[in-house]
Amino acid sequence: MTRQLHLNLFIHSRGHHEASWRHPDSSPLALTDIRYYQELAQRAEATKFDSIFLADQLALGGEVAQAARTWLEPITVLAAVAVATERIGLIATCSTTYTEPFNLARQFASIDHISNGRAAWNIVTSWLATAASNFGGEGQVSHADRYTRGEEFMTVVKKLWDSWADDALIDDRASGVYARADRIRPIDHRGDFYRVAGPLNMPRCPQGRPVLVQAGSSDTGRGFAARHAEAVFTAHVEKATAQEFYADLKRRAAAEGRDPAHVLILPGLSPMIASTEAEAQRLAREVNELTDPEVGRRRLSNRFGGHDFSHLPLDRPLSPEDFPDPGSVEAARSRTEVIINYVRREKATLRQLLGYLAGARGHFATAGTPEQIADLIEDWFIDGAADGFNIMPPLLPVQLDLFSAEVIPILQRRGLFRTEYQGTMLREHYGLPWPASDFDAPTEAAALHDA
C-alpha cells in the first residue's frame, strides 16, 4: 500500500478563526456543552480521521470579554468523547510543569482503558506566563527549566506505565487470584524534581502506553520530541520551513536510535473552503471583519511573554526590530520566530499581522476550493514537509463538514487516505509499534528504552 496520510481534527472554540464564536454559521451550542465535542468527534470519525485533539491552557486569557476562550478540562472531555465514539483517537494536552507524574500517568492510562486503546497525550511544558500564578509559583518557570523537568517527568511516567507486566492481571474468580503481585513492582524513582514510589494503581493500558504527542519547535523542544514523541504538531506558514523542520526532526529521531517513520510530523492547516477561490476568500474576509485588533494586540503580547506592543501604530509596516529577540522570550519561542519571519517576508503592518494571526494563531491559514486544498495537502505530503495534517477548521462544524465532504473524497480517490479504519486503536491508525514493556528488562535496558 502507498504511504498513507494521517489527519487529526484540532477542536478549538467554535473554530480556529479568532472571530468564529460570533459568526452566524458556527455551532449554536455552548462551549461548555459536551454534545459539541461529542458531535464533532463523531463527524470526524464518520470520515475516518485518525484522531481529535484538545489543547489546554492553565489560566484564563485576558481577552475573555471579546473572545471565546473558556473551555472544559480536556482529559474530562476525552472520557465523555470516548464513550460517544468507537474508533477515533483521542489526544489531550497536559502540562509537565503543573501536574505530578503519578496523576498524569493514571489519567491517561484511564482514558486508554475507557476508550479501548485510543488515548494520546500532547506533552507541553506550558508557555503561558500567567499559568504559574495559579499553581503557587512565584513566577514563570524558565524555558530551559521547564524542559529539564519535563525530561525527568517522562522517565517517571514511562516507568509507571510499565509498572504492571502485561500478564499481571488474572481476575480469576475460581482461584481467588485477582492479580499476580510478583508481576507488579514499585518504581522507586528518586530524581532532582520527583520522588515517586509507584507502582501505578491500575493494570497496564491497552496500548501499553498512551501515544505520545508533542509540539515543541525550539532547539530544546525538537530534541525532546526526537526522544519521546510519536506524533509532532507544528506551525509553518511556508512549505520550505516545514520541509526543514521535517528533515531535522527525522534526522534527530534517527540519531536517538529511533525509526524516523515512527515520528509523524503533522503541521497545522486551517483551510477556508468554498466552491470557488473568490468565494473562499470572500468568506475569509467576512470572518476577519468580525475581529477586534485590540484583542489581537493583547494576544500578540501574550505570545511574546507580555511584551508591550501598545505603542505600535496599526498601519505602519513592521520590521523585526519592533519585536523582542525570540531567544529572550520565555513563552513559546518557536511561534515568535514564525511571526517575525512573516513580518520580514510580507513587510506587514500590525493590522495585517493581526489579521493573519486571527486566522489560526500562526498556523498555515489558506482559502480555496476543495481541489486546491487537496493539491496543497498532497504536495506537502509527497515533498517531505508532512506525514499528515493537523486540520484546524476556521469555523466549526461547517468548515469541517466541507473538508470531510469535499476534500477527503479527493484524497481517497488519489489513494492517499483510508476509506476504512484498519484497526481499533490509535497506534494502528498511526502505524506505530507497541511500546515494549520495560517490566522484564534489566534496569540499564530500561534506561536505554526511556531515551
Ligand X SMILES: Cc1cc2nc3c(=O)[nH]c(=O)nc-3n(C[C@H](O)[C@H](O)[C@H](O)COP(=O)(O)O)c2cc1C
Stretch that binds ligand X, among 50-58, 149-157, 166-174, 292-300 (CB under 6 A): 50-58
Separation between Cα atoms, residue 249 and residue 225, nearest integer Å: 8
Q: Residue from 101, 206, 208, 221 that binds ligand X (CB under 6 A)? A: 221
What nine digits make up the cell of 393? 477548521
393 sits near ligand X (criterion: CB under 6 A): no
390 sits near ligand X (criterion: CB under 6 A): yes
13 sits near ligand X (criterion: CB under 6 A): no
126 sits near ligand X (criterion: CB under 6 A): yes
93 or 369: CB nearest ligand X: 93
E runs forming strands in 308-404: 364-368, 388-391
128 or 165: CB nearest ligand X: 128
85 or 93: CB nearest ligand X: 93
Q: DSSP per residue over 253-322, as a string?
A: HHHTT--GGGSEEEEEEEEEE-SSHHHHHHHHHHHHTT--HHHHHHHHHHHTTT---TTS-TTSBP-GGG
Look up residue 130 and give its DSSP letter: G
Binding mask 315-344 for ligand X (x = CB under 6 A): -----------------xxxx---------
145 or 292: CB nearest ligand X: 145
Binding mask 81-100 for ligand X (x = CB under 6 A): ------------x-------
Instruction: Kindly state the smallest distance separating residue 224's Cβ from ligand X, in Å.
Output: 8
Using CA atoms of 328, 100, 202, 428 in order, give the dihedral in degrees to the nearest 10: -10
210 sits near ligand X (criterion: CB under 6 A): no
Instruction: Kindly state the smallest distance separating residue 164's Cβ from ligand X, in Å.
Output: 29
Inter-residue contact 269 to 390 (CB < 8 Å) = yes
Inter-residue contact 150 to 134 (CB < 8 Å) = no
297 sits near ligand X (criterion: CB under 6 A): no
E runs forming strands in 344-406: 364-368, 388-391
149 sits near ligand X (criterion: CB under 6 A): no
Separation between Cα atoms, residue 66 and residue 326, nearest integer Å: 28
Q: Residue from 29, 31, 34, 55 that binds ligand X (CB under 6 A)? A: 55
Q: Which of residues 255-274 bind ligand X (CB under 6 A)?
A: 268
Instruction: Kindly state the smallest distance separating residue 218's Cβ from ligand X, in Å.
Output: 3
- Per the DSSP assignment, residues forming a β-bridge with 272 are 367
Of 300, 336, 343, give the one whose Cα is nearest residue 318: 343
Stretch that binds ligand X, among 180-188, 218-226, 394-402, 420-428 (CB under 6 A): 218-226
223 or 384: CB nearest ligand X: 223
389 or 417: CB nearest ligand X: 389
Instruction: Kindly state the smallest distance separating residue 128's Cβ from ligand X, in Å.
Output: 6
Instruction: Kindly state the smallest distance separating residue 87's Cβ from ligand X, in Å.
Output: 22
Separation between Cα atoms, residue 32 and residue 445, nearest integer Å: 45
What nine digits make up the cell of 192? 532532582
Helices (H), 11-85: 34-46, 74-82
Size of the site for ligand X (CB under 6 A): 22
Stretch that binds ligand X, among 149-157, 209-217, 272-280, 419-427 (CB under 6 A): 209-217
Q: Cβ contacts of residue 450 below 8 Å, gap of 6+? A: 154, 155, 158, 159, 438
Instruction: Kindly state the smallest distance separating residue 222's Cβ from ligand X, in Å.
Output: 7
124 sits near ligand X (criterion: CB under 6 A): yes
280 sits near ligand X (criterion: CB under 6 A): no
Instruction: Kindly state the smallest distance separating residue 25's Cβ from ligand X, in Å.
Output: 24
Instruction: Kindly state the smallest distance separating residue 141's Cβ from ligand X, in Å.
Output: 12
Separation between Cα atoms, residue 154 and residue 196, nearest integer Å: 13
E runs forming strands in 302-451: 364-368, 388-391
234 sits near ligand X (criterion: CB under 6 A): yes
Q: Cβ contacts of residue 209 below 8 Å, gap of 6+? A: 158, 161, 162, 435
Q: Which residues bind ligand X (CB under 6 A)?
A: 55-57, 93, 124, 126-127, 215-218, 220-221, 233-235, 268, 332-335, 390
